[in-house]
């Protein structure tokens, strides 16, 4: 989508193994012709191979995106498999006050299943320690969120996404109501009734934050405004994530929402995630290569 007869008699008379070998050799020569440049810029590569770059006129997969080509996940190591078999999965969730840029201690959160949309039956309660970290011990099959209700702050739903044992997650971001209003004003928007804020961080195969990813949601409406971090501030002029891998939506309609990350340099999807949006609350999620790609057919 993005990018013979004269020998027919001879080829058809070959035994089947020879025929297959001839076909594969021809295919390989078409795929990689050392005499023919494959690209002049990385854009030539990204439309056909996600996470690739143009190096010396050849398309090469960047090290941080090799899991896309191999199909491996972030939990393929022997130690990770052993941990999952034993039913243990421990991760760290830091907290961060967005304005003070400091961690927050003594917060109380609830661990909720994704289908428990109101967190009516929390699996556990967790507390942030003196360093502002939640130490989470979860079932390997856990697919849900951490709910944080604090009287002085905007409620937060943090969807953990696919997990790797022992990892440290992107920080849970905290805002007071006045700071949230300032954030919305920064992008020339106004928070509507029955809408909320959604924040996402994109991570690559190695767990690093990813630049050049844009977000799209079929649940967006006429009031929804997409933004990305640019020089530490939210920007509606930015077209994709910067090195922080950070962006999101103002005024995503309340209810279930699905968000897909796309490589901005081409038309290749990275992954999708599904989250819940609550009115005048903050939802946080992650876009990672090991996440489901349920709406990859969503047009860019």
Say if 298 falls within a structural domain.
no
**How high is the pLDDT of residue 61?**
73
- Residue 26 phi/psi, 5-degree rounding, is -65, -40
Q: Are 128 and 104 in contact (CB under 8 A)?
A: yes
**63 and 98, same domain (yes or no):** no
**272 and 129, same domain (yes or no):** yes
Q: In 3-state terms, what secondary structure has residue 126?
A: strand
CATH code assigned at 117: 2.60.40.1120
**How high is the pLDDT of residue 62?**
77
**Buried residues in 130-157 as b, exposed as e (16+ CB within 10 A):** eebbbebebeeebebbbbbeeeebbebb
**96 and 19, same domain (yes or no):** no
Please state, for a pLDDT cut of 70, what percent of the chain lies above it: 74
Say if 299 falls within a structural domain.
no
**Cα gap 173→158, rounded to integer Å:** 9
Say if 151 falls within a structural domain.
yes
**230 and 246, same domain (yes or no):** yes
Lowest mean pLDDT among 2-6, 45-49, 79-83, 205-209: 2-6
pLDDT-based confidence at 68, cuts 50/70/90? Answer: confident
**How high is the pLDDT of residue 88?**
72
Q: What is the mean pLDDT of residues 196-222?
A: 94
Helix (H) or strand (E) holding 25: helix 16-31
Say if 106 falls within a structural domain.
yes
The pLDDT tens digits for 240-294 are 999 999 999 999 999 999 999 999 876 788 999 999 999 999 999 999 986 444 3
Say if 2 falls within a structural domain.
no
**111 and 55, same domain (yes or no):** no
**124 and 195, same domain (yes or no):** yes
The pLDDT tens digits for 114-135 are 999 999 999 999 999 999 999 9
Domain range for 22 = 9-70
Say if 42 falls within a structural domain.
yes
**Cα gap 77→75, rounded to integer Å:** 6
**87 and 62, same domain (yes or no):** no
Angle at 168 between CA 216 and CA 52, to 5 degrees: 50
Strand-pairing partners, residue 92, are 135, 168
Average pLDDT of the chain, as a whole number:
81
Say if 113 falls within a structural domain.
yes
Q: What is the mean pLDDT of residues 80-103?
A: 79
Count of the separate structural domains present in the chain? 2
Q: What is the mean pLDDT of residues 136-153?
A: 93
The pLDDT tens digits for 23-57 are 334 444 434 455 567 777 666 675 555 666 677 77
On whether the pTM is more than 0.85, the answer is no
**144 and 258, same domain (yes or no):** yes
The pLDDT tens digits for 271-284 are 999 999 999 999 99
Strand-pairing partners, residue 228, are 235, 247
**63 and 208, same domain (yes or no):** no
**Cα gap 143→164, rounded to integer Å:** 13
């Amino acid at each position: 989508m993005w990018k013979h007869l004269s020998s027919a008699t001879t080829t058809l008379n070959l035994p089947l193994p020879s025929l297959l070998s001839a076909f594969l050799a021809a295919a390989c020569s078409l795929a990689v012709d050392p005499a023919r440049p494959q690209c002049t810029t990385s854009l030539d590569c990204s439309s056909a191979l996600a996470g690739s770059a143009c190096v010396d006129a050849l398309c090469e997969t960047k090290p941080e995106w090799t899991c896309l080509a191999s199909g491996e996940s972030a939990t393929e190591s022997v130690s990770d498999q052993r941990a999952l078999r034993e039913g243990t999965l421990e991760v760290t969730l830091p907290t961060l006050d967005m304005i003070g840029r400091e961690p927050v201690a003594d917060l109380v959160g609830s661990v909720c299943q994704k289908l428990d949309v109101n967190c009516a039956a929390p699996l556990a309660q967790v507390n942030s320690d003196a360093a502002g970290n939640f130490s989470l011990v979860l079932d390997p099959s856990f697919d849900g969120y951490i709910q944080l209700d604090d009287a002085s702050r905007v409620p937060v739903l943090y969807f953990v996404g696919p997990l790797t044992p022992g990892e440290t997650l992107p920080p849970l971001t905290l805002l007071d109501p006045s700071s949230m209003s300032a954030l919305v004003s920064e992008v020339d928007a106004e928070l509507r009734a029955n809408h909320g804020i959604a924040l996402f961080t994109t991570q690559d195969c190695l767990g690093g934050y990813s630049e050049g990813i844009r977000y799209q949601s079929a649940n967006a409406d006429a009031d929804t405004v997409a933004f990305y971090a640019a020089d530490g501030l939210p920007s509606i002029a930015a077209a994709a994530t910067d090195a922080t891998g950070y962006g999101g939506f103002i005024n995503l309609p309340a209810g279930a929402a699905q968000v897909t990350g796309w490589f901005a340099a081409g038309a290749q999807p990275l992954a999708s995630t599904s989250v819940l949006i609550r009115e005048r609350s903050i939802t946080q999620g992650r876009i990672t290569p090991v996440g489901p790609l349920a709406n990859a057919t969503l047009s860019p």
